[in-house]
Amino acid sequence: MGLFEQFGGVSMALLGAGLAVGLSCVGSAKGTGIAGEAGTGLLSQDPSKSGKVMVLQLLPGTQGLYGLVVFFVCLATLGLFSGGIPEMTVQQGCKYFAACMPMALGGLLSAIAQGRVAAGSINILAKKPDDWTKGLILCGIVEFYAILSLLASMLMLLFMK
């Protein structure tokens, strides 16, 4: 048995778990950065709106947390917390990899999109402060798709055979 056959399955599973958290965090960093850039302009003019700006900036950061949850669930289902490296075929490892991809890709793309919506919502806050919750709702619509990505990955990981 070659090295790839021995560790290739586990490597594929760990690659999927790493991408779930890594890409989700990259998207969150980009999304919160976009919202933060918009927020700094408003806060330089009106620092009293800092609480609402922080809420809007925080929203694209949730995808990174969702990716971290998928990462830990993947490692737990692999049995890595029980102290050993499991034996698995490359095909089995590819199943774990595939299960992590909805969160990896969904987290990356939805966090960036949500950052753009949050930046627009900060503009609403600047121009019509009483209507800022409308922007918050728009951000929540994008969040729904991040949650669907989380749900898809979790269901595949928890009910994998």
Q: Are 115 and 60 in contact (CB under 8 A)?
A: yes
Please state, in angstroms and as integers, the Cα–Cα distance from residue 18 to each residue in 14, 112, 142, following that order: 6, 19, 23
6-43 confidence digits (pLDDT tens): 568 999 999 999 999 999 999 999 999 999 999 999 99
Which residue ranges form the domains of the chain, and what is each CATH number? Answer: 7-79+86-158 (1.20.120.610)
Please state, in angstroms and as integers, the Cα–Cα distance from residue 98 to each residue in 80, 91, 131, 154, 155, following that order: 18, 11, 41, 11, 12
Instruction: Say yes or no to pLDDT of 1 above 60.
Output: no
Least confident window among 77-81, 105-109, 148-152: 77-81
Whole-number pLDDT of residue 129: 95
- Computed over every residue of the chain, the mean pLDDT equals 94
Whole-number pLDDT of residue 60: 97
Whole-number pLDDT of residue 70: 98
Cα 10 from Cα 90, distance rounded (Å):
8
Instruction: Say yes or no to pLDDT of 4 above 70.
Output: no
Whole-number pLDDT of residue 7: 66
